[in-house]
Amino acid sequence: MSTLVVLGTQWGDEGKGKVVHYLSRQADYIVRYQGGNNAGHTLIFEDKPFVLHLVPSGVLFPEKYCLITNGVVIDLESLKEEVDALTKKKVVVKNRLFVSEQAHIILPYHKIIDGILEDWNVKIGTTKKGIGPAYADKVKRIGIRAVDYLEKDVFEDLIEKNLIEKAAILKGKIDIEILKKRIFEDYNKLSEFLRPFVANTSFMLEEAMKENKKILFESAQGTLLDLDFGTYPFVTSSNPIAGGVCSGAGIGPTKINGVLGVVKAYTTRVGEGPFAVELFDEVGDFLRKKGEEYGATTGRPRRCGWFDSVVVRHSVRVNDIRNLILTKLDCMEDLDKIKICVAYKYKNKIYKEFPASRTIQNYAEPVYEEMPGFQGKVKGVMSFENLPVNAQRYIKRLEELVGASIDLVSLGRRREEIIEVNKNVSWF
């Protein structure tokens, strides 16, 4: 048995999809363990672009098994569209994609409620795809799982009860009877689509481990969007951290052999919330343009800033990360100077560890260390030694600051554009 967790160390959008795609060649099973279709991976495979939201990136390789486990909430319309799009591009999905029978289903009312809550509450910057309300129903023990969805009598009874419970918040937004009719009209099509994919994925993983299969777990979002360890309340509704694999996929903690953190060479985030290193100047615009920093799911422009080592140190600790892959280093070409945030300062106090206080997160000033930029060509370089000297120094300084080894460097969106800095690391 060999297992590896790949996760984001910042606010998501670090390039996890490409990394999972790169490592999938070595894996037998690729497993998505949390989140929903509010995440997106953009991949280039055989010169074709693929944008995946729910289906694990390994689906593009034949003979790999892809699992969507119980920690994920599933929009069936979105999943069907994704599967249909893959099928049209000649990617075989049948008998390779499996959905946990215990995964919770996103219903149309979850999306409506998501929009209502975003208008009522503090602006979180959600994608309004119903993710949070679906997780809320799960916690309130009124959620509808895949296994419930496929038992028509159970499903209809739960819908009746849930719509009574949600009538007050939906009042004035949509007629309950019209909504109910829409849900039931879609049922036959969506249940027929879902049925062949549903399985006991926790048991499948146990059997795979007994057979010494190589298993790759992929998260959505990033550590700073974790429900417990992120910039609460501006977070997602699940646990992208490595610990989320246990409850999100149904495996024991001793079954995790390694954690690979994905870290961008600068920092971005989408939506609302504190962001100490955010740039509002021409450098921020440069990074956004060079890095094509627009959400794969929403198209929203990402907020850009310098590398924040306080954030990444926090991620290294809570995930027990020992190995990192640095992405988008090529997007920093031609900057004369590069800054790295090494600490936060608030009311004359220095914070080297990420603070939980909302006040400090909102009002702390970044303490920067400055390094010379690199003018030489980065993109297309195939070895660490051939990178510009200042780029090499930047990487080594990041390692020192965050306390983990940068063993891979990604220099583009294609799977092949990855430098192996440490050729002795075995991922499985």
Residue 313 placed within a domain? no
Element (H, E) at 33: none
**Confidence class for position 299, pLDDT limits 50, 70, 90:** confident
Tell whether the model's pLDDT for residue 229 goes beyond 90: yes
Domain boundary among 211, 237, 253: 253
pLDDT at residue 128, rounded to an integer: 86
Residues 77, 224, single domain; the answer is: yes
pLDDT at residue 183, rounded to an integer: 97
Q: What is the rounded average pLDDT of the residues 69-86? A: 96
Residues 113, 179, single domain; the answer is: yes
For the record, the structure tokens of 177 come out as 């009877």
Residue 295 placed within a domain? no
Residue 231 placed within a domain? yes
pTM, 2 dp: 0.94
pLDDT at residue 254, rounded to an integer: 96
Tell whether the model's pLDDT for residue 122 goes beyond 70: no
Q: When comparing pLDDT for 63 and 106, which is higher?
A: 106
Residues 7, 89, single domain; the answer is: yes
pLDDT at residue 296, rounded to an integer: 66
Tell whether the model's pLDDT for residue 335 goes beyond 70: yes
- Structural domain of 16: 2-98+200-253
Residue 13 annotated as catalytic: yes
Bridge partners, 323 (sequence order)? 260, 405
pLDDT at residue 199, rounded to an integer: 98
Q: Which of 13, 75, 330, 407 is catalytic?
A: 13
pLDDT at residue 1, rounded to an integer: 64
Residue 177 placed within a domain? yes
| Tens of pLDDT, residues 91-105 | 999 999 999 999 999
**Confidence class for position 121, pLDDT limits 50, 70, 90:** low
Q: Which CATH number goes with the domain that contains 60? A: 3.40.440.10
Bridge partners, 96 (sequence order)? none
In 317-337, which positions are buried (b, 16+ CB within 10 angstroms) versus exposed (e)? bbbebebbbbbbbbbbbebee
**Confidence class for position 48, pLDDT limits 50, 70, 90:** confident
Q: When comparing pLDDT for 49 and 182, which is higher?
A: 182
Residues 144, 212, single domain; the answer is: no
pLDDT at residue 287, rounded to an integer: 96
Domain boundary among 213, 238, 253: 253
Residues 189, 113, single domain; the answer is: yes
Q: Which of 21, 28, 41, 53 is catalytic?
A: 41
Cis peptide before 301 (omega within 30 of 0): no
Residue 87 placed within a domain? yes
Residues 135, 218, single domain; the answer is: no
Residue 360 placed within a domain? no
What distance in Å separates the CA atoms of residue 220 and residue 38, rounded to the nearest whole number?
Answer: 9
pLDDT at residue 375, rounded to an integer: 83
Q: What is the rounded average pLDDT of the residues 211-231? A: 97
Residue 220 placed within a domain? yes
Residues 209, 83, single domain; the answer is: yes
Residue 419 placed within a domain? no
Q: What is the rounded average pLDDT of the residues 77-104? A: 95
Angstrom CA distances, 246 to 174, 240, 283, 353, stand at 38, 11, 40, 26
Contact at 8 Å (CB) between 74 and 54? yes
Q: Which of 428, 221, 235 is nearest to 323 (CA)?
A: 428
Q: Which CATH number goes with the domain that contains 134? A: 1.10.300.10
Residues 44, 22, single domain; the answer is: yes
Residues 168, 229, single domain; the answer is: no
Residues 172, 248, single domain; the answer is: no
Residues 122, 89, single domain; the answer is: no
Give percent of the chain with pLDDT exceeding 70: 97
Q: Is 40 helix (H, G, I), strand (E, B) or coil?
A: coil
Residues 74, 217, single domain; the answer is: yes
φ and ψ at residue 426, rounded to 5 degrees: -105, 120
pLDDT at residue 415, rounded to an integer: 66
Q: Which of 118, 26, 35 is nearest to 69 (CA)?
A: 35
Contact at 8 Å (CB) between 421 and 408? yes
Which of 201-215, 256-270, 377-391 is predicted least confidently? 377-391
Tell whether the model's pLDDT for residue 297 goes beyond 70: no
Q: Which of 169, 152, 193 is nearest to 109 (CA)?
A: 169
| Tens of pLDDT, residues 374-421 | 987 888 888 999 999 999 999 999 999 999 999 999 987 776 788 999
Domain total in the chain? 2
| Tens of pLDDT, residues 3-45 | 999 999 999 999 998 899 889 999 999 999 999 998 777 777 7
